[in-house]
Copies of this chain bind each other. A is one copy, B any other.
Amino acid sequence: MRDGVAKPRVLLVEDDRELAGMLGELLADEGYETDAAYDGQRGLHLGLTGQYDVMVIDRRLPVLDGLELLRRLRARAVTTRVLVLSALGEVADRVAGLDAGADDYLVKPFEAEELLARLRALGRRDLDGAECLPLGAAALDLRRHEVVLPRGERITLSGREFELLRTLAQRPKAIHPRAALRTHVFADSTGESIVDTYVYYLRRKLGRDVVRTVHGLGYQIGAV
């Protein structure tokens, strides 16, 4: 899927365990790494870790309603793409879901193919054809794993350094939680502070300002 390095991670919040099990298998077959939660509270807890690429949330959930869960995630600066599943298919229901912060809304019953296609659409991040990502005044050369400074000077990055910076540069100005970066760039078994270390390496090579720390939330590039 993506470089074969890390599978995209999906959080599935669905109280119908049978359906959850089926979807979990379906997603696994498609190459997703899936975690499941069976109620809204648990979904909120997992969602806040910020380690997912996309979430699938059922609208009707015990403990904490799906839309309320979504609102709370959004209120806590979680920008992960969310697809809401619901048996409620009226236009007003769909509008309510989307306006609560969903990126897409799929009405039950649905076909597996469509769910997968919509997940692909949400997860699509690869900037096809782009060779460079903007990086403030500089640029990140995706082919050569180098940062090109305004005056043409080039700084070579190691593999991990590059992956980290690319992840940040793909969504500039967004805040990337540590946990998310750790899951995307490093192996799950690595220590908690690996991200700090590599941010330190990047800053040492590129200057203190490339990466901004947002205390308690994560890291950010291209700050305003």
Contacts and interface: CB of A to CB of B under 8 A. Distances in A.
Contacts of A217: 144-145
Contacts of A3: none
Interface stretch (A9-17, A31-39, A54-62, A114-122): A114-122
Interface stretch (A22-30, A154-162, A184-192, A202-210): A154-162
B224 A142 contact: no
Given A121-B98, A175-B143, A224-B152, A129 B91 contact: no
A77 B129 contact: yes
Contacts of A171: 128
Copies in the complex: 2
A152 B174 CA distance: 17
Find the residue from A79, A94, A127, A130 having the highest chain B CB count within 10 A: A79
Interface of chain A, helix or strand or loop or mixed?
Answer: loop
A102 B124 CA distance: 10
A103 B217 CA distance: 28
A111 interface: yes
A76 B98 CA distance: 29
A144 B77 contact: yes
Contacts of A63: none
A94 B117 contact: yes
Given A144-B175, A214-B145, A131 B74 contact: yes
Nearest to A118: B98
Interface of A: 74-77, 79, 81, 91-92, 94-95, 98-99, 101-104, 111, 113-114, 116-118, 120-121, 124-125, 127-131, 142-145, 152, 154, 156, 158-159, 166, 171, 173-175, 214-217, 220, 224
15 contacts: A75-B129, A77-B127, A77-B130, A79-B129, A91-B113, A91-B114, A95-B116, A101-B124, A104-B121, A128-B173, A129-B175, A145-B214, A145-B216, A145-B217, A152-B224
